[in-house]
Amino acid sequence: MDPKALKWTTLERSHYLYGVIYEALRLTYGVSARNPRIAREEDVVYQKGSYSYVIPNGTPIRMSSVLQHHDEEVFPDSYKYKPERWLDAACERNHELEKYLFTFSRGTRQC
């Protein structure tokens, strides 16, 4: 098939193509340094399962895309390039996983 015959409107319906792009972004990290945030007034409560931590206000909290993108619970076999990890059982985009992509950061200061 002539590649010029491919239309963007067709391509953007390809869930696998999203997988290819997200997987490339996941493994190329973007900014790899830890990116600090400070809650100036309120304490931050972090809860996961039965664990709960209170982080006093004024404490810098940092996270990096490298740590996030190699969390084996979220991205098993994390050093492998696997575009299909971004698809769900029905081979559609797995929006639930997309929230763990940190290349452009998250929240109000994200790229």
| Residues at the site binding ligand HEM, with contacts judged by CB under 6 A | 30-31, 35, 103-105, 109-111
- Which residue's structure tokens are 């290349």? 103
Q: Which is nearer to ligand HEM, 9 or 110 (CB)?
A: 110
| Shortest separation between residue 29's beta carbon and ligand HEM, angstroms | 8
Tell me whether residue 46 or residue 104 sits nearer to ligand HEM (CB atom). Answer: 104
Residue number of the CB atom closest to ligand HEM: 30
Closer of 7 and 109 to ligand HEM (Cβ): 109
Q: How far is CA 25 from the centre of its chain?
A: 9
Half-sphere exposure of 27 (CA within 13 A, CB side): 13
User: How buried is 26 (Cβ within 10 angstroms: 0-12 exposed, 13-18 middle, 19+ buried)?
Assistant: buried
- Minimal distance in Å, beta carbon 8 to ligand HEM? 20
Closest approach of Cβ 63 to ligand HEM, in Å?
9
DSSP 59: -
Nearest-Å Rg of the Cα atoms of the chain is 18
